[in-house]
Structures are given as structure tokens and as C-alpha cells.
Amino acid sequence: MIGKKTMIQLAAVALLASTGWASAKTVCYVTAADSHAYATPANKALEARAKELGVEILSLSQDFDVQKGTEQLNTCVARKVDGIILWPLDPQAYIPGLARAQQANIPAILINSPMSDDAKPYIKSFTGPDVYEEGKLAADSLSKALGGKGSVVIIAGQAGNGTTIGRVTGFTDRLKETNADIKVLDTVNADFDQQKALVVSRDLITRFGDQISGVYANDDTMARGFIDAWKEANPSKAAPPIVGINGQKDAFESIRTNEMYSTIVQSPVEDGRLAINTMAEIIDGKEVKDRLPIPLTVVTKDNVNSVEPAF
Amino acid sequence: MRFLSLASQYRVVIILGLTLIISALVVPGYFSASTLGLGLDRAATIGLIAIGLTVLLIAGQIDLSGGAVFAVAGIVSVMLQREIGILPAAIVGVLVGTVAGAINGALVVGLKVNSLVLTLATMLIFRSLAHWITNSQPVTGTDIMLSLALAKIYLEIFTIRSALFIVFIVLLHFWLTRTIPGRNVFAVGSNPAAAKESGIASDRIVFLGFVFAGTLAGLAGVLQSLVTNTGSPVFGSELTVAVIAAVVVGGTRLEGGRGSALGTLGGVLTIGSLTIAMEFQSVPAYVQQVVSGLILILLVVLDRAVTTKGRAPGTRPALISDNPVTQGEST
Amino acid sequence: MSDAAMEISGVKRNDRFTRGSRLVDALSKAGLAFAILAVALYGSVVSPAFFTSGNLLNVLTSMSIVGIVVVGMTFVLVVGGLADLSVPATIACGAILSLGLQPMIGPLPAFVLAVGLAGLIGLLNGVLVGYVGINPIIATLGIGTIGLGIVQAAVGGVIVYGSNPASAEFAKGRLFGIPVVVLIFLVIALIGHFVLSRSFWGRWTLATGGNYSAAEASAVPVQAVKAGAFVITALTAGISGGLLGLTLQSARPLIGAGYEFSAITAVVVGGVSIIGGFGSVPRAIAGLIFVQLLTNVMVLDGVRTPIQGFVLGILIVGAVGMDAALRKRGVA
């Protein structure tokens, strides 16, 4: 029964610790996931900054499950925390939970992804990149590469996922807005997975062949899948311009070697830090803007050597 | 050995008790009514689906499509709100679950196919349907105030959802232990052939079991959609595994013929309180996974270690005994 | 169903039964062949690109990774082990370790070690299922959850990239014009087929799945045979994961998500009974070919993703339904 003893010791430590921190403010952070290329560095940055600010973080991971997240908001309210930072994975489902937080006088902000306008009354601010904005930037970048004319395929993330919806609709809306003469041949879901993107790209290349004059992938991982599929099919021919999002290290490499046209860098570290800084200001009673973006940098061959990759 | 068998008999109670004690030691204020109420509400969604699955598992069947039915029922109940009003839409949503269950049941009984494979297929079908009718976008309901009312805590501990769960599981307990149809479910699960010979309509019981499970998954989905004011095609994608784990932790066997409603209650509460306790301590999700996996394995091993007598390990379980040919029953 | 299995299980069966069973076997084999033919025909009608060697080679390459897992999963189903749900964990183990260990010990040892560790996960499954007698669904679910949790804890949010271009070139390359991944898949499929249909281990596997107690009575080491099926699946999933890592040159903890269901679907559509005691590797691969061709045709035809899932679901119901119906007639 070693387990019991350690447990009791653990408990004692926890009790001591909790009394020691009793005066500190606690912020509930409902994050997208614990183990993820973008979310992990964002979480770490947020927690590190919180430590500097003397704020205690109660970190809850949704593990990409919206339903779990909606229930975790209740946990936050029950813990009577001083603030909530929510990473929404759905534009609407959290609204009742946020409303409950408001009833309990707990201020809430959104990190990383936006929610629908209906959520506005219940949140103090939305910090971080805007996936919809990223879609628009990608559209601009791709239409620049194509000279405003062509036909493209979209390799989208998981169906029904907030990031996917934002990045796809941002892209298509922007094409309409600018009256670009760019046709979307097809939009396929590859779940942010490189292998799935590879398989589906093979089929797209077989189906459309030379009709494809440009590619938009919802993230760099899937862009890589298309590049590999293109190389298999046309070893000697250069691929059409490919635009990705995230700014991964390997995407930078691909841009240098002309395999990819552009990617969009958003820094997870800045994302995390901005959120906790904003929350700290709110707790101190300061007014904050309802929209605090982090810089989004479109990286092409022109600036690939002067920008840091995101991860 | 006697100690072991005692430990095994009450293992659900023991593990639940241990969870609560350790949680209370580690988490300050764990035993406050609001915390317990929260744990109960968190457990209710899993619990409602687990009620249906308990009956099915006892009858020797399984249903993997619960999470997908959960999503479809919720979507329907939200989509129809504008046309026919909230309450009728909710009822239709639950009925969608019933219909989905009836489809599962009819196919399993009618085609005489294994329920594991069949509900794997219908899981795919219902999930695709959810994406299809919503165009992969979440849909919003009309009344957010209702969502707030539904999540309200009554008597300091119950939400409507968790109260429903408790009532249903108590009803299930009495039905399974005190009524003849209830006991017949066990007979069907432990020996389908013998059950048939003694005049029990096994096919009907299996069919109704699926209808029951579908209805409860539908109910859970509708409640979830009302509480979040949203129907989403991705809801419930992680549910099925959690539900199976909860029911099995509660001592119900996948082989059929054994299980209890109160065991499931214990299993669901254990998972619920464990989740809350670990979340209160900011335990990373992957550690939570490891812990719940270990508890699952530990409990079933304990169960095996004590009750192997008279049953060779690996004996063909009832879950997979619905095909007479490969069964080797050529007589 | 092989006669050897009947003999060794010591069960006397009448001729009529065996005859019926053979007829059914032939019928269901023919059914699958027809189905594949029908999809191919439809494919060439809707898309001129379908019947090109390029496209068919693509389909073959795309199915190789999951195909390797299918070979292992066949053993699990035939031995009466229902399903191995820990495949995502073993694939992740294979992919992450075979890339992550490259800088330390070199590409080949990394690959071997990765596959070996995946096999160890399989051994855990096997012991729990074969010796302790735990239901395979629960055992593999639990072990899979734990395994994946550990992998995530170990890797964190880091994407593991490959650091050995030569091994990547090899995995992505071609031999005699055929992609290396496809060749490896074919070799594993051949070995799997040989073991299941020609070797004593295969006979034992069929016997254990067909009638557990009879096989036990005729001195088949049933527990080891049952455990072995899970080790085999874990090894194939480890190889599959390692190849996945090498071809993609990157790996994440959730890289293997969904492969368990794809593999089970293929095996079941191929007419391998989930009740055990019956089935072969070629049948399972025929099922895989059918599913992959169908998906390929749907993508070429521009069918939306949700509808693809819908069609696939209906198809599984049809396949198992038809199989059950045919078999019932066979005995009657």
C-alpha cells in the first residue's frame, strides 16, 4: 500500500499549497488539447506568463471534444474562479456556459478562435489569431500567385470543426468579395492529417490533372500531403502554387525550395501570452478592447529568411 | 481467496469509495454539494446512454452507434425548433433516437448479424447523416434562456439531467431485478438457445433492447443540445468508449448475462467523480487517459481472477454466438 | 474453411454440412469478386481517369499502409478475438519511435525497436485476452488508451520529424516500378496468407476460433494461439506505423486514429466472420480492395465526404447481411 501513503503526502502538499495560494487569483483555462503541435506551446506560454503575473491557472483540456468543453465551463463556474479563458472549438455551443459564468460574475475571454456574434454579450474580449482572417489572407496570397485567375482545390480539415469552418469560409468569402476569377474545383476533408491529405490528393490529381492551377490547404501538414502526391504523379513537373497555414518549420523549408508558395505564421507563444495578459488586466479592473489580434504574417519566398517559424 | 472474492463482489463500491476519499483529500472542498452536483451532471450524459447499454450488454449485444445517435437526435431537436416549437422538436429528437435503435435492432435480429459489426456500420451511417443534414456546420437553437434553466441546480445537487439519470437508473434496477421481462433479459444474454427453448421471445427482447438504447442515446443528445443551445455533427464522437468503460467498470460483462443497474450507477459515478477530481487538479488529459485505462483493466482483471472457476478463459462469449454455423452446433 | 481445422478440432461433422459450407464459401467469394468488378465497371464509366495504371497504382499505394494492419487483424478475427482496438496506439508507437530514435541509433535499428515495442503492447493485449480471459474489446480498449496516453505524455505537442533522408528515399521509392510500400505490403500479405493457410499455427488459429474447447481438447495451445493473434496485429501495426512515419517524415501521437475501424471494416467486408474460425488473408484483402476502389471512385466522381461515409456504412451492412444469409442457407 505504497500508493496510499504517497497519496496522503500528496494531499498534504496540495492542502498546504492551496492555503499558500489562497490570496492569488485563479484563472480557469479551457484549452483545446494538451498534446498538440500548436496548442502545447500556447498552453506553456500562457502558464509561464501566468506564473510571472502571480496568477494561478486551472487548466482543463477538452481534447478536441466540444461537449467536454461545454461541461468544463460548469466546472470553472463551480470552482468560483476569477476569470475564464476559453479556446472555443465551436461557434455556438459554449454560449449558455458563458452566460452562466456571467451570472456568476466571472469574466470570460476567448483565445485563438472566434465564436458567433451571439456570444459577444458574454465575453469581454477575443484575443489571438482569427481563423476566418487567415482564410482571407490565404485567398489573397493564392490569388496573387495565380494573377487573379485559375481553378483551385481546397484541402480542408475535419468536417464540422470550428477552425476548418473559419478557414474555408474565410477563403471562399474573400474570393467572392474580390471578384477574383478563381473557381473552386472541389473541397475535400483530410482531417488535418498528412496521410489522409496524401491519399485524397492522389485522387484529386487523377481527377482534375492539369486543371488544378492552385491549392489551398487548411494547414501546412496537409499541404505537405499534396506536395508528396504531386511528386509521385509528376516527378519532373513543378507543382501549382500551394498555400498553407500555421508556419511550420518544414513548410518554411518547402517555401525555400519552391515546393510551396506561402504559409501564414501565427505564433502560439504570443497567442498564449496575449490571452493571459488580457485576463490579468480584466481582473485588475481595467477596460480591454473586445478584439485583440496577434499579428498574422504571410510568409513567401520574399520574407522566408526573416521570419521565425511558429513551431 | 475469501477476501478477494469479497473485494471483487463490492469492487465498484470500493473503487468509488477510494476515488471519493482520495479526491476529498486532494481537492479542497470536494464534498461540497455544488461539487458533487457538478460531478453528477457531468456523469449524467454518459449515464443516460449507459443505462441503455447496460440492458443491451446483459442481453449479450453491444451498441457502438450511441454517440452518433446522440448527435443526430440533438441536431434534429434543434433544427425543428423554429418550425414546430421547442417541446415538440425535443420529442421528435428523442423519437429519432428510438427509430435509430429500431433500425439497429431490426437489422441485428432480422439479418442475424453480429451487433458489434452492425452497429459499427450504423455508427458510420448515423454520423454521416449528422454531417449531411447540417452540411458539417453546427446549428443554433432559438431559446438560450431554456438552456440556462436546464442547467440550473435544484436542491443544491440535481440538475434536470442528473435527476432524470438517477430516476431512470433506479427504475431500471427494479425492472431488472423484480420483473419477469427484466429477468428474461439475463436469460437471453447468458444462454440464448436455452432461453428460446423455455419460451422466451429472445428476438423480441433483443430488438426492444436496441430500441431502448437508441431512445436513451437520443434523450441524452436532445438534453445536451438543449443545454448548449446547439446541435453539432461532431457531438458525442468520444462518448461511446467512455460509456462502455463506465458500464464495464460497473461490473456488467460484455459476454452477456451478467450486470446490474446499480453497478452501472457506481461505474458512472466513479468515472464522473474521477474526472472532476483530476480536472480540479489540472491533471493533463493524457494522464487522465492512463488512469482511467488502468482502472478499467484492473477491475476486469480482478473480476476474472475471482470468477474464472467453471469457465475456461476465452470461452466463446455470448456476444458473438449468433451464427449457428461457425458456432459448431451442427446437431 | 479448411478441412484440417475440422480434423484437428476433433468435431465430427456430417458431409452435408461441409458441402453446404463449401458452396457458401464459393458463393460469397464470387459475390465479392462481382462487387469489385461492378465498382471497377462503374468507375470506368464515370471517370476516364479511373482505368489508368497511374490511378490503380495510386489506389494500391494508398491501401498498403492500412493493408498491412488488415493482415494482422485477420488473425484476430479468425481466432475469435473480435477486434483489436489498440491499433491507433501501436501505429503511433511505430511511427514516433522509428523517427524519433533515428538520430540516436540509426534508421534501421530505430525501425526494429519501434516495431518490437509495438509488439510488446500486443503481448500485453494477448496475455490479457488469451491467458487472463478478458473480453478483447475491453482489454484492447484499455491497453490502447493507456498506450496512447503514454505516447502523448512522452511526445507532448512536438511533431517528430525524420532526420534521415536516405531512409525516407527508400520508403518513398520504387523497385521495378512498384512503390516500396506496396512491395512490403505484398510480402507481409503473402507471409500472412502462408502462415494462416499452410502452417500449423494457421491450423491452430482456425481451430481455436472455430471451437475453443474442442481445440483445447485436441492439445492445441489455445491460450498462446489467441494471444499470438494480438501480437501479430501489433507487429503489423508497428510496421505500418513505421512505414507511415518514414513516408511522411513526420509523426504525431494521433497519427493512427481511425485505422482500427478501417482495418476491421475491410476484414468484415471481405467476409471473414467476426465469430472466428473462418477466413483467410486474401479474402480480407479483397474486402480492402473493394472498399478502397469504392472510395476512389467516389472521390473521382466528386461525392462529398459525408455521403462517402454513408455509402460505406450501408455497404458493410449489406456485406455482413448477405454473408449471414448465405451461410444460413448453407446449413439448412
Q: What was the pLDDT predicted at B307? A: 66
CA distance A101 to chain B (A): 11
Alpha-carbon gap, residue A216 to A171, rounded angstroms: 9
Are A74 and A144 within one domain? no
Reported ipTM: 0.86
State whether A92 and B35 contact (CB < 8 Å).
no
Q: What's the pLDDT tens digit per position in A102-154?
A: 999 999 999 988 888 889 999 999 998 888 899 999 999 999 999 989 999 99
Residue C14 has pLDDT above 60, yes or no: no
Lookup: cell for C132: 487472463
Q: What's the pLDDT tens digit per position in B89-114?
A: 999 999 999 999 999 999 999 988 88
Q: CB–CB of B225/B75 below 8 Å?
A: yes
Q: Which domain holds residue B77?
A: 30-307
Mean pLDDT, residues C17-30: 64
Alpha-carbon gap, residue B198 to B191, rounded angstroms: 11
Least confident among A253-267, B312-326, C169-183:
B312-326
Q: CA-CA-CA-CA torsion for B153, B155, B159, B161, nearest 10 degrees?
A: -170
| Total domain count, chain A | 2
Residue C126 has pLDDT above 90, yes or no: yes
Mean pLDDT, residues C12-28: 56
Q: CB–CB of A174/A216 below 8 Å?
A: no
Alpha-carbon gap, residue B22 to A11, rounded angstroms: 8
Residue B331 lies in a domain: no
Residue B323 has pLDDT above 50, yes or no: no
pLDDT above 90 covers what percent of chain C? 59
Which segments of chain A does DSSP mark as H helices, in order? 2-20, 39-53, 66-78, 95-103, 131-146, 162-177, 194-208, 220-233, 249-256, 268-283
Alpha-carbon gap, residue A199 to A219, rounded angstroms: 16
State whether A67 and B230 contact (CB < 8 Å).
no
Q: What's the pLDDT tens digit per position in C48-63?
A: 888 888 889 889 999 9
CA C304 to chain centre: 26
Residue C150 burial (C-beta neighbours within 10 Å; 0-12, 13-18, 19+): buried
Q: What's the pLDDT tens digit per position in C98-113?
A: 999 999 999 999 999 9
Are A118 and A238 within one domain? no
Q: What's the pLDDT tens digit per position in B66-88?
A: 999 999 999 999 999 999 999 99
Q: What was the pLDDT predicted at B175? A: 94
Give the CATH number, domain containing residue B291.
Answer: 1.10.3470
Q: What was the pLDDT predicted at C291? A: 93
Put simply, the chain C residues between 224 and 263 with a CB less than 8 A from any chain A CB are: 244, 247-250, 252-253, 255, 257
Residue B311 has pLDDT above 50, yes or no: no
- Among C21, C260, C275, C328, pick the best mutation site for testing chain B contact (most B Cβ within 10 A): C275
How many CB atoms are closer than 10 A to CB B31?
Answer: 11
* Residue B331, C-beta contacts closer than 8 angstroms, at least 6 positions apart: none
- For residue C178, which amino acid is it? I
- How would DSSP label each residue in B200-248? --HHHHHHHHHHHHHHHHHHHHHHHHHHHTEE-TTTTTTHHHHHHHHHH
Q: How many CB pairs under 8 A join A and C?
A: 76
- A interface with C, Cβ–Cβ < 8 A, is 34-41, 43, 159, 186, 188-189, 193-195, 198-200, 202-204, 206-207, 209, 221, 224-225, 228, 232-233, 248-250, 311
Residue A221 lies in a domain: yes
* Residue C283, C-beta contacts closer than 8 angstroms, at least 6 positions apart: C29, C32, C270, C271, C272
Residue B144 has pLDDT above 50, yes or no: yes
Q: What was the pLDDT predicted at C17? A: 43
Put simply, the chain C residues between 165 and 194 with a CB less than 8 A from any chain B CB are: none
Mean pLDDT, residues A247-269: 92
How many CB atoms are closer than 10 A to CB A3?
Answer: 9
The conformational region for residue A31 under phi > 0 = left, psi -120 to 50 = alpha, else beta, is beta
Give the CATH number, domain containing residue C239.
Answer: 1.10.3470
Q: Which domain holds residue C52?
A: 3-331
Q: Provide, as residue numbers in chain B, all residues whose Cβ is less than 8 Å from the Cβ of A10.
A: 26
Cβ of C16 under 8 Å from any chain B Cβ?
A: no
Cβ of A6 under 8 Å from any chain B Cβ?
A: no
How many CB atoms are closer than 10 A to CB B196?
Answer: 14
Q: CB–CB of C275/B321 below 8 Å?
A: yes
Q: CB–CB of B176/B261 below 8 Å?
A: yes
Own/partner contacts of C218-226, CB < 8 Å, gap of 24 or more, are C218/C8, C218/C9, C218/C10, C220/C8, C220/C9, C222/B314, C222/C130, C223/B313, C223/B314, C223/C130, C223/C131, C224/C130, C225/C79, C225/C130, C225/C201, C226/B314, C226/C79, C226/C80, C226/C81, C226/C126, C226/C129, C226/C130
Residue B280 lies in a domain: yes
Mean pLDDT, residues C299-309: 87
Residue B63 lies in a domain: yes
Helix (H) or strand (E) holding C29: helix C15-46
Residue A16 lies in a domain: no
State whether B229 and A65 contact (CB < 8 Å).
no
| Nearest Cα residue in chain C from B291 | C146
| Confidence at A10, pLDDT banded by 50, 70, 90 | low
Own/partner contacts of B173-177, CB < 8 Å, gap of 24 or more, are B173/B260, B173/B261, B173/B262, B176/B55, B176/B58, B176/B260, B176/B261, B177/B260
**What are the phi and psi torsion angles at A301 (to 5°)?**
-60, -25
Give the CATH number, domain containing residue A234.
Answer: 3.40.50.2300
| Confidence at B316, pLDDT banded by 50, 70, 90 | very low
Among residues A264, A184, A248, A197, the alpha carbon closest in space to that of A227 is found at: A197
Residue B25 lies in a domain: no
Alpha-carbon gap, residue A38 to A251, rounded angstroms: 14
Residue B320 lies in a domain: no
Helix (H, G, I), strand (E, B) or coil at A299: strand
Alpha-carbon gap, residue B206 to C329, rounded angstroms: 23
Are A93 and A141 within one domain? no
- pLDDT averaged over chain A? 88
Mean pLDDT, residues A203-211: 90
Are A116 and A137 within one domain? no
Residue A12 has pLDDT above 60, yes or no: no
Are A75 and A167 within one domain? no
Q: What's the pLDDT tens digit per position in A44-63?
A: 999 999 999 999 999 999 98
User: Which chains have 3 or more CB–CB distances shorter than 8 Å to chain C?
Assistant: A, B
Residue C3 has pLDDT above 70, yes or no: no
| Confidence at B312, pLDDT banded by 50, 70, 90 | very low
Cβ of C137 under 8 Å from any chain B Cβ?
A: yes
Q: What was the pLDDT predicted at C225? A: 96
Among residues B224, C166, C108, the alpha carbon closest in space to that of A71 is found at: B224
| Confidence at C33, pLDDT banded by 50, 70, 90 | confident
Q: What was the pLDDT predicted at B322? A: 38
| Total domain count, chain B | 1
Q: What was the pLDDT predicted at A129? A: 86
State whether C278 and B326 contact (CB < 8 Å).
yes
- pLDDT averaged over chain C? 87
Residue B22 lies in a domain: no
Residue A304 lies in a domain: no
Mean pLDDT, residues A82-104: 92
Alpha-carbon gap, residue C88 to C86, rounded angstroms: 6
Q: Provide, as residue numbers in chain A, all residues whose Cβ is less than 8 Å from the Cβ of B230.
A: 90, 92-93, 95
Own/partner contacts of C289-292, CB < 8 Å, gap of 24 or more, are C289/C36, C289/C63, C290/C32, C290/C35, C290/C36, C290/C39, C291/C262, C291/C265, C291/C266, C291/C315, C292/C59, C292/C62, C292/C63
Are A179 and A274 within one domain? no
Residue B172 has pLDDT above 90, yes or no: yes
Find cell 477491475 and name the residue. Answer: B299
**Of the ranges B140-154, B191-205, B246-260, C214-228, which is most confident?**
C214-228
Are A136 and A125 within one domain? no
Are A29 and A89 within one domain? yes
Q: What was the pLDDT predicted at C21? A: 62
Q: What was the pLDDT predicted at A9? A: 53
Alpha-carbon gap, residue B262 to B171, rounded angstroms: 10
**pTM > 0.90:** no
Q: What was the pLDDT predicted at B272? A: 86
State the DSSP code for A246. Answer: B
| Total domain count, chain C | 1
Sheet holding A108-111, edge to edge: A55-61, A25-31, A83-86, A108-111, A125-127, A291-292
Between A107 and B313, residue with greater pLDDT:
A107
Q: What was the pLDDT predicted at C199? A: 96
CA A217 to chain centre: 14
Residue A307 lies in a domain: no
Residue C211 burial (C-beta neighbours within 10 Å; 0-12, 13-18, 19+): buried
Are A120 and A147 within one domain? no
State whether C82 and B122 contact (CB < 8 Å).
no
Residue B24 lies in a domain: no
Q: CB–CB of A187/A221 below 8 Å?
A: no
Q: Which domain holds residue A177?
A: 132-265
- pLDDT averaged over chain B? 85
Residue B315 lies in a domain: no
Q: Provide, as residue numbers in chain C, all residues whose Cβ is less than 8 Å from the Cβ of A250.
A: 161, 249-250
Helix (H, G, I), strand (E, B) or coil at C163: coil
Are A200 and A257 within one domain? yes
